[in-house]
Structure 1
Amino acid sequence: MSTITDAQAYLVDLPVEAVRTDAVQAFLKQETVFVEITTADGLSGRGYCYTIGTGGTAILALLRDYLLPRLHGRDARQIEAIWHDLFGSTRATAVGAITSLALAAVDTALWDWRCRRADLPLWIAAGGARDRVPLYDTEVGWLHLTVDELIGGAKAAVAAGRGGVKIKIGKPDPAQDVERLTAVREAVGPGVDLMVDANQSLTAADAIRIARLLEPVDVYWLEEPLPADDVDGHARLAASTSIPVAVGESLYSVGQFAEYIQRRAAGIVQADAARIGGITPWLKAAHLAEAHNIPICPHFLMELHVSLCAAVPNGRYLEYIPQLTAITTTRLTVEDGHALVPTAPGLGIAWDLDAIDDRRVA
């Protein structure tokens, strides 16, 4: 009765909920690719992945033309076997973003099905380490914001109980970045974690320099300072500064995380369940980090990552960036600066199916 009888994929476009800019790009829209599976017993599961504006139709084509046909007749309980079969069938395009995102849409659908069948919420099925996760706020720290806007947003986030605030860097003169961070630190005081994100915009030499300039501000982590394929540069930076180096949103396999950890190039792991290929590999990256005493603070997707971050013992922070408001019927529950885990069976995301249908583009 757990045999997959149907698998469908479709694309939904969501406008950004706030203007979002960083050192290299702007968040244009969220292309959300959904996968729905149904089994012979009538149970279903819904999963998804996303892009920030481009590539959605390529993911959809990969799913429809190659991956979904391989699901028919498979036992939905065998999530590992299915993941590896799909990955193996795409060797010519893996490891890479498009393939990992497509795999994630299938894998999250299977986990949703598994949790619904077991009548368990995801955070319990995946480990059940805690029932709440501390929040830090990224929405208040975008690069285009003025110093006054940064200060106002940071104060509002702290007043709402957020334990940390992320500020984007990448101004033409590093002194501007330092000035902005210093102003925020003075406004919120020493008890708030200040994260910094360069979005892969620096060279190793520039990153080492700016890290030295930021150390007096007591930065909690320096995120994506260099291009993700410059592992050696990250290792050199990590060895030169007391600021933890955070990486992961632009890594697409567990092996890539293993290399960073082995090279001592990452102090914070930021695996993204969509970009690494789903919940199955995300949990492996999280436990790999745990084995090396490294915290995991996942990138984006707070509605999904709240459950995953709560499932593992080293989940330290959840990133606050709301982006599913238009297609969900409930919101993330926040109490004393912590996101509370959803208790409903499945992924814990209350989809508004009518709103989703209204926004289908493919």
Structure 2
Amino acid sequence: MPLERLTLRSVRARPVVLPLERPIVARIATITRWPLILIDLETEEGVTGRAYLEPYLEHAMRYLVPALHDLGRALAGRRLAPVEIYEAARKSLHFVGYAGQSMIAASGLDMAAWDALARAAGVPLCVLLGGSVGPVRSYNSNGLWLREPAAVADEAVALRDEGGFTGLKLRLGRDDARIDLATIEAVRRSVGEEMRLMIDFNQGLDMAEARRRCHMLDPLGLEWIEEPVVYDNFRGCAALASELKTPLQIGENFYGPRELHAALAMNACDLVMPDFMRIGGVTGWMRAQAIAGAMGIPISTHLYPEVAAHVMRVTETAHWLEWQNWADPILAEPYAVAGGDIVIPDRPGVGMDWNEDAVAAHAVSL
């Protein structure tokens, strides 16, 4: 069917905060409540595109919500061509910089624009992008934080069984590295040797400690070691990547595709995993995955599993989707997982609508 021409009318951004079933306990932070910004991009033709942002910190919503509303006012009346909207949103923020909250706001707008366009076409986003509805391999990242080894091992069984997962991610970085090793051993005993295990240090180590700990982990057959040092230390990451047999994973803090390219040009990693609110939404992802594909680098997703599932169906070097169900309480029909694969619903757009009763129950004032 012909693709309907859409005109951006307004953007509505609503802050909500959800309790986490399994609180985040990492080396650099403890988080018990998860902030979300729900975005409704309304068009003159009556089609509404939806997306959400996950800014980690509740107070960050005080700046992002007004930024989204400002972008909506600035772009009202424009034809809803997502790539053009993305470029206009970025360039409107040129004087305050493309990184940080500027890119996050533009990314949220971009995801909602792509959803609206696919809804207007009456097809799932992956189909609009040239792919098809199908399975996407996922690992469970809903827990396995810095708790005692026995508790982590028990939780690993529960996480595996939530959707028949074949991959799980553990967070490391305890004060005593021997407890980190004991935790991996306990998880191996509980879920079996065939389980693919990813390790994330959440940027918690300096270079000296990263070298010591990563070499301790190197013989364990891990799927990857993620962000051992601060995210922008590409030189340090390159040194680690050259020393280790285990693939080094970075990328959730790339602000835009050019940062991904810079990291790969420096051989800073073996794997990349952009985050949608930083890489530039769907538009930024498609540009980033083309760079990764041209260089033969496997690319995984970070958060935003609903959007992630669609773009992974059209990504040349698609690796793993990070499954987290933290937004499920406010979704009318959450995505399902079966046999370790995320199940893309055969619905127009990304296939997300809000559970308005849950939204009202968790709404916050800024």
Same fold (TM over 0.5): yes
Greater mean alpha carbon deviation, residues 276-285 or residues 126-135: 126-135
1:5 positional shift: 2.3
SS in 2 for 1:24: coil
Residue pairs, 1:97-246, within 5 angstroms: 97-128=100-131, 131-143=134-146, 145-159=147-161, 160-246=163-249
1:276 positional shift: 1.9
1:279 positional shift: 1.0
2:24 and 2:143 in contact (8 A); partners too? no
Identity score, percent: 28
- Quick check: 1:266 aligned with 2:274? no
Cα distance in 1 for partners of 2:348, 2:142 equals: 29
1:280 positional shift: 0.7
User: Is there any run of 5+ residues in structure 1 with no aligned partner, and where?
Assistant: none
1:130 positional shift: 6.3
2:38 and 2:52 in contact (8 A); partners too? yes
1:142 positional shift: 0.7
Equivalent residue for 2:67?
A: 62
Number of corresponding residues: 359
Cα distance in 2 for partners of 1:202, 1:36 equals: 39
Paired amino acid for 2:68: L
Paired amino acid for 2:76: H
TM-score with structure 2 setting the length: 0.92
1:172 positional shift: 0.7
Cα distance in 2 for partners of 1:28, 1:123 equals: 33
SS in 2 for 1:219: coil
Paired amino acid for 2:364: V
2:50 and 2:353 in contact (8 A); partners too? no
1:204 and 1:236 in contact (8 A); partners too? no
1:215 and 1:243 in contact (8 A); partners too? yes
SS in 2 for 1:27: strand
2:90 and 2:98 in contact (8 A); partners too? no
1:257 positional shift: 0.6
SS in 1 for 2:46: coil
2:169 and 2:198 in contact (8 A); partners too? yes
Cα distance in 2 for partners of 1:111, 1:129 equals: 16
1:154 positional shift: 2.0
Equivalent residue for 2:46?
A: 42
1:129 positional shift: 6.2
TM-score with structure 1 setting the length: 0.93
2:124 and 2:133 in contact (8 A); partners too? no
1:304 and 1:349 in contact (8 A); partners too? no
Q: Deviations over 1:231-283 (max 9, x none)?
A: 10000000000111111112211111111111111212111112222111012
User: Is there any run of 5+ residues in structure 2 with no aligned partner, and where?
Assistant: none
SS in 2 for 1:323: coil
Cα distance in 2 for partners of 1:17, 1:336 equals: 22
